[in-house]
Chains A and B, each alone.
Chain A
Amino acid sequence: MMQEQIHLKLEKVLNNIDRVVSGKREVAELSMVALLAGGHVLLEDVPGVGKTVLVKALAKSIGATFKRIQFTPDLLPSDVTGISVFNTKEQEFVFRPGPIMGHIILADEINRTSPKTQSALLEGMEEASVTIDGETRKLEQPFFVMATQNPIEHEGTYPLPEAQLDRFLLKLKMGYPTVEEEMEVLRRAGSYSPLQELQPVLRLEELLQLQAEVKNVVVDDKVKAYIIDLAHRTRNDSRIYLGASPRGSIALMKAAQAYALLRSRDYVLPDDIQYLVPFVFSHRLILQPEAQYSAENAEFILQDILSTTSVPVKRVAT
Chain B
Amino acid sequence: MMPKRVENIIQLFIYVFSFFLLTEWMRPVSELTDTGNMKVFILFIILSLAVHFFSLHWFARFVVLIGYIAVIAYMLYDDALFSIRELGVNIAYVWSGDWVLMTNSFRTLLFFALLWLVTYLIHYWIYMKSNLFFFFSMTIILLAVLDTFTIYDASTAIVRVVIAGVMILGVMKLVHLFPALSLRLLGKWSMSLIVMVAFFVSMGLLLPKPGPQWPDPIPFIQSFSEQAKGEDSTASVSKVGYSEDDSKLGGSIEPDSSVVFYHTATPDYYWKVESKNVYTGKGWVSSVGEGTAFPVANGDELTELENYEGPEQVAAKALSASVSIIEDQGHILYPAGSYLKNVKAEGVSFFLYEPNLKKLTPQTADGTLQDISEYIVNYEQSRYDLAQLRKVTEADETMDVLMDLYTQLPDSVPSRVYDLARELTENQLNWYDKAKAVEDYFDRSEFVYSKEDIPYPAKDQDYVDQFLFETRTGYCDNYSTSMVVLLRAAGIPARWAKGYTEGERTVKEGEVIYQVTNNNAHSWVEVYFSGIGWISFEPTKGFSSEPEFINSDRTTHRDMEHATVREDQAETPQQEEKNAISERGTNGKFASIMKPFWISLGIVVIVVLSLFFTRRKWVPRLLITRCKRKSICFSEAYEVLVKQLHRAGLKRLKGQTFREYAAYVDSVYDTNLMTELTRRYELILYRGDEEGEAWRELQESWETLMRKTSS
Which residues of A does B touch, CB under 8 Å? Answer: 218, 220, 222-223, 266-271, 274, 306-311, 313, 315
Contact = CB atoms under 8 A, between A and B. Distances in A.
A313 B655 contact: no
Contact of B655 (A223, A267, A268, A308): A308
A223 B658 CA distance: 13
A268 B685 CA distance: 10
B657 A269 contact: yes
A274 B657 contact: yes
Given A271-B657, A310-B654, A313-B658, 13 more contacts: A218-B686, A220-B685, A266-B687, A267-B683, A268-B686, A269-B686, A270-B657, A274-B655, A310-B655, A311-B655, A311-B656, A311-B658, A313-B685
A268 B686 CA distance: 7
B683 A271 contact: no
A218 B687 contact: yes
A299 to B, nearest CB: 15
28 contacts: A218-B687, A218-B688, A220-B685, A220-B686, A220-B687, A220-B688, A222-B686, A223-B686, A267-B683, A267-B686, A267-B687, A269-B657, A269-B659, A270-B686, A274-B657, A307-B653, A307-B654, A308-B654, A309-B655, A310-B654, A311-B654, A311-B655, A311-B656, A311-B657, A313-B658, A313-B685, A315-B635, A315-B685
Contacts of A309: 654-655
Contacts of A310: 654-655
B637 interface: no
Contacts of B166: none
B660 interface: yes
Nearest to B685: A315
Contacts of A315: 635, 684-685
B682 interface: yes
**Closest 9 A-B residue pairs measured CB to CB?**
A267-B687, A307-B655, A270-B657, A271-B657, A220-B686, A271-B659, A306-B655, A311-B657, A267-B686
Contacts, number: 51
What secondary structure prevails in chain B residues at the interface with A?
A: helix
Nearest to B687: A267
Contacts of A313: 652, 657-658, 685
A315 B653 CA distance: 18
Contacts of B635: 315
A274 B143 CA distance: 55
A269 B682 contact: yes
A99 to B, nearest CB: 41
B684 A271 contact: no
Nearest to B655: A307
Contacts of A271: 657, 659-660
A266 B635 CA distance: 20
A266 B687 CA distance: 8
Contacts of A308: 654-655
A307 B657 CA distance: 10
Contacts of A220: 685-688
A309 B688 CA distance: 22
A270 B657 CA distance: 6
Interface in B649-702: 652-660, 682-688
A203 B620 CA distance: 54
A269 B658 CA distance: 9
A94 to B, nearest CB: 53
A269 B683 CA distance: 9
A216 to B, nearest CB: 12
Nearest to A274: B657
Contacts of A270: 657-658, 686
Contacts of A274: 655, 657
B614 to A, nearest CB: 28
A315 B686 CA distance: 9
A218 B689 CA distance: 11
Contacts of B660: 271
B640 to A, nearest CB: 13
A149 B683 CA distance: 40
A222 B682 CA distance: 12
Contacts of B658: 270, 311, 313
A307 B654 CA distance: 6
Most buried by B among A267, A269, A309, A313: A313
A303 to B, nearest CB: 9
A266 B683 CA distance: 10
B660 to A, nearest CB: 7
A262 B635 CA distance: 27
Contacts of B684: 315
A266 B652 CA distance: 26
Contacts of A307: 653-655
A180 B418 CA distance: 86
B680 to A, nearest CB: 13
B650 to A, nearest CB: 15
B658 to A, nearest CB: 6
B675 to A, nearest CB: 12
Contacts of B683: 267
Contacts of A268: 686
Nearest to B652: A313
B676 to A, nearest CB: 16
A265 B8 CA distance: 48
B685 to A, nearest CB: 6
Interface in B630-651: 635
Contacts of B687: 218, 220, 266-267
Contacts of B659: 269, 271
Most buried by A among B655, B660, B688: B655
A222 B655 CA distance: 15
A93 B631 CA distance: 78
Nearest to B689: A267
A266 B657 CA distance: 18
A274 B660 CA distance: 11
Interface string B558-586: 00000000000000000000000000000
Contacts of B688: 218, 220, 267
Nearest to A217: B687
A161 to B, nearest CB: 32
A136 to B, nearest CB: 40
Most buried by A among B656, B683, B686: B686
Nearest to B682: A269
A306 B654 CA distance: 9
Nearest to B659: A271
A220 B683 CA distance: 11
B635 to A, nearest CB: 6
B175 to A, nearest CB: 32
A222 B685 contact: yes
A9 B652 CA distance: 36
B661 to A, nearest CB: 9
A266 B654 CA distance: 26
A284 B588 CA distance: 77
A134 B635 CA distance: 59
Contacts of B654: 307-311
Nearest to B635: A315
A311 to B, nearest CB: 5
A310 to B, nearest CB: 5
A311 B635 CA distance: 17
Contacts of A222: 685-686
Contacts of B656: 311
A10 B428 CA distance: 106
